[in-house]
Amino acid sequence: MQDDSHQARGQTDAWDLQALEMRKSYGKVNALDGATLRARYGEVHALLGENGAGKSTMCKIVTGSVRPDAGELLLDGRAISNGSVGEAMRHGIGTVFQELSLLPDLSVAENMFIGGGEPRGRTKLVDRRAARRRTDEIFDELGIEGIDPRSAAGSLPLAQQQLVEIAKVIARKPRILILDEATSTLPRQDVLWLFGIVRRLRDEGAAVFLISHRLREAFELADRITVFRNGADAKTGTTDEFTEATLVEAMLGRELGVETERRPAPAAAEVRLEVRELNVKNRVRDVSFELRRGEILGLAGLQGQGQTAVLQALYGWTRHDGEVLLDGQPIDVRTPRRAIRSGVALVPEDRRTQGLALEMSIRDNLTLPTLRRQLGFGNLISPAREERFAEHLAKSLNVKAGSLEDDVASLSGGNQQKVLLGKVLSLEAKVLLFADITRGVDVGTKADIFALMRELTADGTSIVFYSSDSMELIHMCHRVAVMFDHTIACVLEGDEITERNIVQASVSGRIATSEEVKV
């Protein structure tokens, strides 16, 4: 489906960078199906779209890390071929990647010059002292504080690594800068800092592409927005031509039925989980809370305030101190195995690295934690029993697969997520911990997950739900605990649960009307 007719073809000369009719397929899947992208110097251009819409692939083509099957890339009116990242760099195209591209064992200074441009002495050998000095200068210029150029990049906190990554690219003075979800690990303050730098670069005449899941960032920063859908550009225009509603509509290709109904907190229900003084070294400080039967407690806060660590600690994934009580009885959650036995289960953040054995069959994955229940004769697994169990799970979660013998790797992302959920749900835990599992999931699967959560709580399961998207928390939770400074700063209930309150508590640790947490 060709969808670029909205751009007048005669206008081509007015654009500085053009990616025309790009096509790229992986196997039978068309990641890009005739997508076109045009940009000007001195503009910030936001690329939006659902996962798999093609915006990342488009960026990777411009960056040179992916070769298109067909299509033309024009820079300053001339066709260029981007065979590699290095070639793109020589054209003045710089990318801050979503996955960090730092080399953890090399020093910060070495990382700054890995792609070239390292200062050399008379002997043509790298002058390390000069490299360190130059790094300090670059950091000063950009307003980055407190990073020692000599320290190994991998030893820095994640947010600082992201800053080094950004500085590395910007130091090369790119004419075209691509920020591929570069803000996702940054605290809000650093996002604002980055935006300041981006504006400066733009004013100096650079073209900037911004890929972000946060619509708000697009509205804050972008001059122009292109929405991708199904591997093609669906809609493009200047930022003031869009509203949040029209953007979402363009992304989905249909109007969004907003569902804001929220059930009242089951205050009357008995306390199911009680956490007292939970501490994880460097990551969580004195966290205490209660969770009632059938309740969904949201965990909010800026990235890296300890939300993930709380969930991991409750599942015995990290070492921790503190007391955890289930139905009034202290339980042992020092390892995931013991947590499971105690009735606590976690759906991890990253299904590919933490959740699934990708090269094993769907059936094997679904039954892995519950093999004890599949045993037939002696210690042997009963194939029939296992098959029945797996089939039942797959059906109830609506997993679309040819055969349960297929590898999980052969499934689409959404279906993989369902297998992961099915696997954890089959443990029939009393308390479920959801660690940002909706990030990077398409809208359809997300809706399925939310429906499932409602079903579970109706049956009396309690859920701790961490999400980096505050709208989801508002939508789903009975109460929201906002984390700030590695502890729970305040708990929002009922009408207090608004985006404004969550954001304010996230950055300041309190809201005007908040009641302090019971310790």
Partner 1 sequence: MSAAPPVHASGVAADAATRAEAGEQRGRARVTPQQVTAVVPVVLFVVLFVVMIVVQGTFSGSLLQTVLETTVPLILVGFGQTLVVLTGGIDLSVGGIFSLVTALVATKMTHNGDVATWLPLVLLIGLAAGAINGLLIVRTKMQPFIVTLASWSVFSGLALLALSTDGGSVAPGLSSTLSGSWIVPKAAVVTAVVIVVWLVLRRTRFGTNVLAIGSSEPSARLNSVPVARTKILVYALAGLFTALGAVYYSSVLTFSGSPTAGDTFILQSVAAVVIGGASLAGGRGNMIGTILGACSLSMIAQIVFFAGAESYWGQLVQGILILAAVLLFATVELLIRRRNPASAEEA
Partner 2 sequence: MSAVPAPASERRSRFGQTGWRRRQLVIAFAWILMILLFVVVSLFEPGFRSNTNIRSIVDQSMILGIVGLGQTLVIICRGIDLSVPAMMGVSGVLLARHGTTTGDVVGALVLIVPIAIALGLVNGLSVALLRAPAIVVTLATNTLLLGALLVTTNGATSQTGGEPAKLFRTLSTGHIGPISVSGLVWIGIAIVAVALLAGTRFGRHVYAIGNNPVAARMSGVPVIRTVVSVYVVSSLCAALGGLLLAGYLNQTFPDMGSDYLFTSIAVVLIGGASILGGTGNYLGTIAGALTLSILGGVLAILNLGPAYMRILYGVLIFVTVGLGTLLARRGGRST
Nearest approach in angstroms of CB 161 to partner 1 is 8
Among 16, 33, 50, 110, binds partner 1 (CB under 8 A): 110
187 binds, among partner 2, partner 1, none (CB under 5 to 8 A by kind): partner 1
Q: Chain centroid to CA 402: how far?
A: 29
**Could you tell me which of 154, 38, 156, 168 has the C-alpha nearest to residue 96?**
168
180 binds partner 1 (CB under 8 A): no
**CB crowding 77-108: b at 16 or more within 10 Å, else e:** eeebebeebeebbebbbbbbbbebebeeeebb
- From the list partner 2, partner 1, none, pick the one residue 439 interacts with, judged by a Cβ distance below 5 to 8 Å according to partner type: partner 2
Q: Which does 197 bind (CB under 5 to 8 A by kind): partner 2, partner 1, none?
A: partner 1
Residue in 156, 171, 339, 477 binding partner 1, rule: CB under 8 A: 156
Contact 37, 58 (CB under 8 A): yes
Question: What is the arrangement of strands in the sheet containing 29-39, beginning at the earlier edge strand?
Answer: 29-39, 17-26, 70-75, 78-79
Nearer to partner 1, 180 or 472 (CB): 180
Cβ distance to partner 1 smaller for residue 203 or 259 = 203
Site residues (CB under 8 A) for partner 2?
26-29, 31, 51-57, 98, 181, 211, 213, 315, 317, 336-337, 340-341, 346, 348, 353-361, 364, 368-369, 371-372, 375, 379-381, 401-403, 405-407, 409-414, 423, 427, 439-440
User: 3-class SS at 480?
Assistant: strand
Q: How far is CA 325 from the centre of its chain?
A: 31
Q: Report the nearest approach of partner 2 to the CB of residue 14 (Å).
A: 29
Nearest approach, Cβ of 392 to partner 2 (angstroms)? 18
- The residues facing 483 across adjacent strands are 301, 488
Stretch in the footprint of partner 1 (CB under 8 A) among 36-44, 67-75, 188-196, 425-433: 188-196
> What's the rounded Cα separation, in Å, for the pair 469 and 474?
9
Touching partner 1, residues 250-289 (CB under 8 A): 280-283, 285
**Closer residue to partner 1 in complex, CB, 274/350:** 350
Instruction: Evaluate whether 467 touches 296 at the Cβ level (below 8 Å).
Output: no
With beta carbons less than 8 A apart as the criterion, state whether 293 and 253 touch: no
Of residues 263 and 388, the one with the C-beta less far from partner 2: 388
Q: Which two tokens stand for residue 5?
A: 């007719």
Residue 470 to residue 307: CA distance in whole angstroms: 13
Sequence-separated (6 or more) residues with CB below 8 Å from residue 430: 272, 273, 326, 327, 343, 344, 461, 462
Structure tokens at 43: 């503009």
Q: Which two tokens stand for residue 490?
A: 């305040």
**Residue 190 found at the interface with partner 1 (CB under 8 A):** yes
The residue among 256 and 360 lying less far from partner 2, judged by its C-beta, is 360
Give the binding range for partner 1 (CB under 8 A) out of 81-89, 271-279, 340-348, 455-463.
81-89
Is 382 near partner 1 (CB under 8 A)? no
| Residue from 134, 292, 351, 486 in contact with partner 1 (CB under 8 A) | 486
Q: How far is the CB of 177 from partner 1 (least distance, A)?
A: 15
Choosing from 84, 243, 396, 513, the residue that interacts with partner 1 (CB under 8 A) is 84
Please give the Cα distance from 450 to 53 (Å, whole number). 22
Question: Is the CB of 381 or the CB of 443 nearer to partner 2?
Answer: 381
Handedness of CA 455, 461, 462, 467 (dihedral sign): negative
Q: What are residue 417's phi and psi, to 5 degrees?
A: -60, -35
Nearest to partner 2 of 24, 479 (CB atom):
24
Q: Does 135 contact partner 1 by CB under 8 A?
A: no
> Based on CB atoms, which residue is closest to partner 2, 266 or 369?
369
Given the complex with partner 2, which of 42 and 440 has the nearer CB atom? Answer: 440
Closest to partner 1 by CB, 100 or 452: 100
Q: Which segment (11-19, 23-31, 145-153, 440-448) binds partner 1 by CB under 8 A?
A: 145-153
Q: Which does 332 bind (CB under 5 to 8 A by kind): partner 2, partner 1, none?
A: none
User: CA separation (Å) from 297 to 111, 293, 452?
Assistant: 41, 11, 15
Q: Where does this chain touch partner 1 (CB under 8 A) — which range of 13-21, 439-447, 464-472, 478-486? A: 478-486
Q: Which does 182 bind (CB under 5 to 8 A by kind): partner 1, partner 2, none?
A: none
Interacting residue with partner 1 among 80, 126, 130, 443 (CB under 8 A)? 126
Kindly report the backbone phi and psi dihedral angles of residue 482, in degrees, each rounded to the nearest multiple of 5, phi listed first: -95, 125
Q: Tell me: does residue 100 bind partner 1 (CB under 8 A).
A: yes
One-letter amino acid of 410: S
184 binds partner 1 (CB under 8 A): no
> Considering only residues 76, 141, 270, 455, which one is a binding residue for partner 1 as defined by CB under 8 A?
141
Angle at Cα 78 formed by Cα 98 and Cα 59, nearest 5°?
Answer: 15
Q: Kindly compute the dihedral angle of the four CA atoms of residues 499, 502, 508, 513, in this order, to the nearest 10 degrees.
A: 90
Q: What is the DSSP string of 82-118?
A: --SHHHHHHTTEEEE-SS----TTSBHHHHHTTTS--
Q: Which two tokens stand for residue 228?
A: 């991708």
Q: Which residues bind partner 1 (CB under 8 A)?
A: 65, 84-86, 89, 97, 99-106, 110, 114-116, 118, 125-126, 128, 141-147, 152, 154-163, 186-190, 192-194, 196-197, 200, 203-204, 280-283, 285, 302, 304-305, 308-309, 312, 318-319, 484-486, 507
